[in-house]
A and B are shown apart, each in its own frame.
Chain A
């Protein structure tokens, strides 16, 4: 079974600076997807960025980028030029692509609470 681990319960960053959130995962599969979701106090999960395991190039979405290390099974999120609105809980998630009856369900890590200081 796949597992996702986020070892940083809380992180803090100064506004306009850069912060990196860590995520490791365990799987025996070679094809899969990895995601970072943001969950503000409203509770709604918002997709931040997605990485396809067969792509070597790291995904980037504006101020958000990932460092995907497939061999090390590591998937960190870098937030540049941090803004007050980035403050939220961030979840790393894994999604299989193989298997008959693949449901596309997500397996989440425990989350990291990000505080942005003005």
Chain B
């Protein structure tokens, strides 16, 4: 596609439920990033993929959060046993190189609300 696509745009769930958020990066982009943005705050890094592998998952807050990118394109962020504190906008970005020179292109995010 022309840009980074994220679905769903908005997701409301109940505490304790399982949630999946999808990111479809720009075609050909090998690097993919997930960020979490709480209300009124800047985005915080969660995880970085180079191809199919998670090259850096140091930002994942705990083991309830997991992300995959099995074919090196689409990625899914998975959150188990959701908590109210997980409510945030989850942003995905992709880049052509993953290095310093590659500009990050962001999607419009998925807003997750946990009741």
**A contact residues vs B (CB 8 Å cutoff):** 4, 6, 33, 42-47, 50, 91, 93, 95-97, 101-111
Residues of B within 8 A of A102 (CB): 99-100
A-B pairs under 8 A by CB, number = 67
B108 to chain A minimum Cβ distance, whole angstroms, is: 5
Say yes or no: A33 contacts B100, CB within 8 Å: yes
Say yes or no: B100 contacts A105, CB within 8 Å: no
Say yes or no: B103 contacts A47, CB within 8 Å: yes
Whether A97 contacts B93 in the complex (CB less than 8 A), given A44-B109, A108-B42, comes out as: no
Q: Which of A50, A91, A101 contacts B42 (CB 8 A)?
A: A91
In Å, the complex CA distance between A4 and B42 comes to 10
| Binary contact track B100-115/A, C-beta < 8 Å → 1, others 0 | 1011101111010000
Residues of A within 8 A of B107 (CB): 44
**Quick check: is B91 within 8 A (CB to CB) of the other chain?**
yes
Q: Which candidate, B13-21, B43-51, B63-71, is the interface stretch facing chain A?
A: B43-51
Say yes or no: B106 contacts A44, CB within 8 Å: yes
Size category of the binding interface on chain B: 20 to 34
In Å, the complex CA distance between A101 and B99 comes to 9
7 residue pairs bridging A and B, Cβ less than 8 Å apart = A43-B89, A43-B91, A47-B103, A95-B100, A97-B100, A104-B102, A110-B40
Say yes or no: A42 contacts B108, CB within 8 Å: yes
A97 to chain B minimum Cβ distance, whole angstroms, is: 5
Within 8 A of A (CB), among B40-84: 40-45, 48, 50, 55-56, 59
Say yes or no: B33 contacts A43, CB within 8 Å: no
